A and B are shown apart, each in its own frame.
Chain A
């Protein structure tokens, strides 16, 4: 079974540019989460999809961040325009839809975003 994959692994962009991060969850996992770790801080939740619907986007920092999940499969996270404080590692995780298995989240390797 393939794990959670994320693309790109690294991205370096200038302030004001746009970047799109992609996450492919484990096949059959309806829950998809985005997290972010800013340097020196803890990993923080951004948003949660159940299939193609946004279940919880309370962690999204501002309206420069836009997440989508097309057809309930892969997800993209767009940052437009990027600011310096957006630098960090963006993780994606997925889990089963319900029950005890829904609590165990499987993480991708992350995308390291550097905004200069």
Chain B
């Protein structure tokens, strides 16, 4: 069975600090992996995706994630947090043409 685990339901960082949101997955076949972000009162927006090409994936707003098969991880990072990064982040996986399986989400708070 496929699953996604996000470690930490809430992460707090200071503005300018490194952002690290953790995601581990379980899948019997090579998955496609995604990070989505939901800003307050908005829908889910795709941040980045891993599609079996490069293992280091760059997304929007300065975020990136590295696919590590040996660790079954796909952690999301950003070198320097901005106040505007405060949102809820979701890691997800799927197979071709099938539904996404989501983690429980991580709320990122950024303080000045």
Q: How many residues of A contact B (CB 8 A)?
A: 29
A30: shortest Cβ distance to chain B, in Å? 10
Binding site for A on B (CB under 8 A): 32, 34, 36, 42-46, 49, 51, 90, 92, 94-105
Partner of B94 from the list A99, A103, A107 (CB cut-off 8 Å) is: A103
Q: Could you name 19 residue pairs across A and B whose Cβ atoms are closer than 8 Å?
A: A35-B99, A35-B100, A35-B102, A41-B104, A42-B104, A43-B44, A43-B92, A45-B99, A45-B101, A50-B97, A93-B44, A103-B51, A104-B49, A105-B94, A106-B46, A107-B44, A107-B45, A109-B42, A110-B44
> Does A74 have its Cβ within 8 Å of any Cβ on chain B?
no
> Does A59 have its Cβ within 8 Å of any Cβ on chain B?
yes
Q: Complex formed: what's the CA distance from A25 to B93 in Å? A: 21
- Cβ contacts under 8 Å, A107 to chain B: 36, 43-45
Given A91-B43, A103-B32, A109-B43, decide whether A56 and B102 contact each other with a Cβ distance below 8 A: no
B12: shortest Cβ distance to chain A, in Å? 19
A104 touches B104 (CB 8 A): no
- Cβ contacts under 8 Å, B42 to chain A: 109
- Cβ contacts under 8 Å, A105 to chain B: 94, 100
- Cβ contacts under 8 Å, B97 to chain A: 31, 50, 95, 97-98, 102-103
Nearest to B95 among chain A residues (CB) is A103
B13: shortest Cβ distance to chain A, in Å? 23
- Cβ contacts under 8 Å, A44 to chain B: 102
> Does A108 have its Cβ within 8 Å of any Cβ on chain B?
yes
A48 touches B99 (CB 8 A): yes
A42 touches B94 (CB 8 A): no
B95: shortest Cβ distance to chain A, in Å? 8
- Cβ contacts under 8 Å, A56 to chain B: 98-99
Given A100-B51, A103-B94, decide whether A108 and B99 contact each other with a Cβ distance below 8 A: no
A104 touches B46 (CB 8 A): yes
- Cβ contacts under 8 Å, A48 to chain B: 98-99
B99 touches A43 (CB 8 A): no
